[in-house]
């Protein structure tokens, strides 16, 4: 090459290299330092950002709660196992644990409670539970119980007594009706709005147990009626009938005796979980050969003729067979919904009193708070005011009792599995609610490399909540026991998982950590909930605990910072002037301030939601960096300070006031 052209070629090549290093169409990297600037105070060389030591006195101020499943968290799956693992939770920095339901139940998960006042013997004894409480408290860890307010197990003694005895003192603890559609329409059941009937939510009382007795069945074929009366002894078939009783779990056709003049009789030892039908053929089911009830709510009364129908031909059931409402989420008869009656009379309702009393009993045992399950399903309209009003009454009664032995308020958080718009009115009833939109928006933002909208989304939710309660507590979270795990949703990418943790623990609210998230446990619900509730991987936790760069170490570092930094654990979030939802040039950046007044502290929190480097000009007078995760470098150019965030990296700076 002509030596005269060489300097020009080098200059053009240098410009090309700089342009190629431009990430995400953002501000190009400052040039490398020249010989003339190396000895000056200003340096344009990228240097790793140094962080100051986190000065933590060990007091857990961060309000971080660790969610455990009693049956999955420890190797032994019991109270003693959790007691032995409290050092791990303590080292993580959690100030509370939320236990999955601890009561006797018919299922592994425990949400079908059979006794609100007892502990599940599979998890240990009363003494074992008391030891867990005492050990947790000795380490500065509070204990919250999962508490199910809207239904019991259908095997709960209250329900078993109520279903078998119309005069039972527990009869009004549940919702019974011979005609639920009309009763709801006519507003005879206060738990529902008039358009709240769903036939799939109602089950006959005899579905789980057979109705058994000796009955005489008299069929009048002239007017197509059937009369049933109690009898003493079954009879035999005389070989002449062409009409049949169809009943029982094996559903065999039993011939009736032809008595002449269109009358047929048969006395049998009757047993059936579903009722009975009349058939005119044992080989043909359709074509008008099946006779039953005209509607699904029609009932036969003993000793009274019942008109048969061969068009709809519903199962014929007895009038003392009522129906009960199951938990409206699961379409199963394993649950029986509790009846709290008219909301205006809730404090006099015996069901309400019983549930309050049980909660008070756990306070006497040392429990510090409750996570209330599925609270939008207590009264059966998610848009009504009854549920927030119910929750306020429940909270006030339990909190008043709590004050007898404590100086502070009881902690109570509600699960409203819905978006922020639906959640917001529930703050009229409870101080804390889970914010599911936090994780929904965060997961989308990370997987779409778009962080610029996230802070404004969070602040928008806060505006909604403030309309109902000024001192609201956002219970923020990533995944939980009802959702695909965080690792699965983020493609098992450890850098993305670390970023999700960083956002959770450096933003507003009071965060929850689902057991195993901190070590990257994965799982999805494609083949059942059990896949996101598997046993904790203790070997993996021990391995990661020995590594400075592991996901677990990142969680511990984040929790330590939150526990020791007032602007994080009690500060307010506000948007950044430059890097925000309007600045889509830097769409991968999520930035916000966390500020508190006592002590006076303001932080700059900044995250890179993409796999590419991001170069950011620091416009705030930062005096030191409190935390970095991933690659974070800085340099200065013409008096301005820049940072370069690597893939999914995070940084927290203290702003000099």
Residues labelled as active-site residues: 373, 415
**SS3 assignment, position 527:** coil
How far, in Å, CA of 418 to CA of 437, rounded?
A: 8
How far, in Å, CA of 491 to CA of 640, rounded?
A: 37
Give the residue from 590, 602, 478 showing the smallest Cα distance to 532: 478
Other Cβ atoms within 10 Å of 596 Cβ, number: 17
How far, in Å, CA of 352 to CA of 341, rounded?
A: 9
Is the distance from CB of 642 to CB of 618 less than 8 angstroms? yes
Residues in the chain: 657
**SS3 assignment, position 462:** helix
Residues in a beta bridge with 211 = 272
- Look up residue 478 and give its two tokens: 């990533």
How far, in Å, CA of 590 to CA of 570, rounded?
A: 20
HSE-up of residue 46 (Cα within 13 Å, Cβ side): 16
Q: How far is CA 563 from CA 63, 96, 409, in A?
A: 8, 13, 21
Find the Cα–Cα–Cα–Cα dihedral 98, 533, 101, 176, rounded to 10°: 130
Sheet holding 411-414, edge to edge: 473-475, 432-434, 411-414, 369-373, 142-148, 96-99, 65-68, 512-514
Residue ranges of alpha helices (H) inside 506-550 are: 538-545
**SS3 assignment, position 604:** strand
Which segments within 528-631 are labelled E, that is strand? 572-575, 589-596, 601-608, 614-618, 622-629
Contacts of 34 (CB under 8 A, 6+ apart): none
Is the distance from CB of 640 to CB of 620 less than 8 angstroms? no
How far, in Å, CA of 257 to CA of 266, rounded?
A: 6
Rounded to the nearest angstrom, the gap between the alpha carbon of residue 464 and the centroid of all alpha carbons in its chain is 20
**SS3 assignment, position 215:** strand
Which segments within 409-518 are labelled E, that is strand? 411-414, 432-434, 473-475, 512-514
- Look up residue 261 and give its two tokens: 């003049």
Give the residue from 64, 148, 63, 70 showing the smallest Cα distance to 481: 70
For residue 148, what is the enclosing H or E element? strand 142-148
Is the distance from CB of 297 to CB of 314 less than 8 angstroms? no
Residues in a beta bridge with 315 = none
Preceding omega of 269 cis (within 30 degrees of 0): no
Residue that the structure tokens 């579905």 belong to: 207
How far, in Å, CA of 105 to CA of 151, rounded?
A: 12
- Look up residue 415 and give its two tokens: 């699960």
Contacts of 617 (CB under 8 A, 6+ apart): 27, 578, 640, 641, 642
Preceding omega of 601 cis (within 30 degrees of 0): no
Q: At what angle do helices 454-466 and 436-447 cross, to 10 degrees?
A: 170
């Amino acid at each position: 090459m002509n030596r005269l052209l060489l300097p020009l070629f080098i200059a053009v090549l240098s410009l090309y290299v700089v342009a190629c290093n431009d990430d995400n169409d953002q501000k190009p990297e400052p040039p490398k330092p020249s010989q003339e600037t190396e000895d000056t105070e200003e340096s344009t060389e990228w240097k790793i950002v140094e962080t100051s030591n986190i000065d933590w006195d060990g007091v857990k101020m961060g309000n971080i709660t660790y969610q455990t499943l009693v049956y999955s968290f420890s190797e032994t799956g019991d109270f003693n196992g959790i007691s032995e693992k409290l050092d791990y939770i303590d080292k993580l920095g959690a100030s509370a644990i939320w236990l999955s339901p601890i009561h006797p139940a018919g299922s592994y998960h425990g949400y079908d409670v059979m006794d609100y006042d007892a502990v599940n013997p599979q998890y240990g004894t009363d003494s074992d539970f008391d030891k867990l409480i005492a050990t947790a408290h000795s380490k500065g860890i509070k204990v919250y119980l999962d508490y199910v307010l809207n239904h019991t197990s259908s095997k709960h003694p209250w329900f078993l007594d109520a279903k078998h005895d119309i005069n039972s003192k527990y009869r009004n603890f549940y919702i019974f009706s011979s005609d639920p559609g009309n009763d709801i329409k006519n507003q005879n059941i206060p738990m529902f709005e008039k358009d709240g009937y769903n036939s799939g939510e109602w089950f006959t009382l005899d579905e789980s147990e057979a109705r058994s007795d000796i009955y005489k069945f008299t069929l009048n074929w002239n007017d197509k009626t059937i009369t049933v009366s109690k009898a003493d002894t079954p009879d035999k078939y005389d070989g002449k009938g062409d009409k049949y009783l169809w009943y029982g779990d094996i559903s065999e056709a039993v011939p009736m005796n032809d008595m002449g003049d269109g009358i047929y009789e048969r006395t049998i030892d009757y047993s059936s979980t579903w009722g009975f039908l009349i058939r005119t053929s044992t080989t043909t089911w359709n074509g008008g050969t099946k006779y039953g009830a005209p509607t699904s709510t029609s009932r036969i009364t003993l000793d009274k003729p019942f008109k048969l129908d061969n068009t709809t031909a519903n199962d014929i059931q007895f009038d003392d067979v009522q129906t009960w409402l199951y938990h409206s989420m699961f379409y199963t008869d394993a649950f029986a919904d509790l009846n709290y009656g008219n909301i205006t009379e809730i404090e006099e309702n015996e069901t309400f009193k019983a549930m309050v009393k049980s909660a008070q009993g756990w306070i006497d045992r040392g429990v510090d708070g409750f996570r209330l399950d599925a609270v939008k399903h207590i009264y059966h309209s998610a848009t009504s005011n009854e549920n927030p009003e119910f929750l306020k009454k429940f909270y006030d009664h339990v909190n008043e009792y709590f004050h007898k032995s404590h100086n502070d308020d009881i902690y109570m958080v509600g699960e409203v599995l819905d978006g922020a718009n639906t959640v917001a009115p529930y703050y009229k009833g409870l101080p804390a609610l889970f914010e599911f939109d936090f994780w929904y928006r965060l997961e989308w933002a990370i997987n779409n490399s778009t962080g610029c909208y996230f802070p404004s989304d969070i602040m928008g939710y806060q505006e909604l909540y403030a309309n109902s309660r000024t001192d609201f507590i956002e219970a923020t979270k990533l995944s939980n026991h009802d959702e695909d795990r965080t690792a699965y949703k983020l493609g098992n990418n450890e850098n993305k998982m670390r970023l999700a943790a960083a956002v959770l623990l450096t933003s507003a609210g009071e965060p929850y950590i689902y057991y195993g998230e901190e070590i990257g446990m994965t799982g999805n619900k494609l083949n059942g909930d059990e896949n996101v509730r598997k046993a904790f991987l203790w070997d993996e936790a021990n391995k990661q605990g020995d590594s400075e760069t592991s996901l677990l170490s990142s969680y511990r570092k984040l929790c330590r910072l939150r526990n020791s930094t007032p602007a994080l654990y009690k500060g307010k979030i506000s948007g950044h002037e430059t890097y925000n939802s309007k600045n889509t040039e830097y769409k991968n950046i999520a930035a916000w301030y966390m500020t508190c007044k006592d002590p006076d502290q303001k932080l700059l929190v900044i995250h890179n939601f993409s796999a590419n480097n991001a170069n950011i000009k620091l416009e705030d007078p930062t005096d030191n960096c409190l935390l970095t995760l991933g690659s974070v470098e800085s340099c200065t150019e013409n008096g301005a300070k820049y940072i370069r965030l690597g893939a999914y990296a995070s940084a927290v700076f203290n702003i000099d006031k």
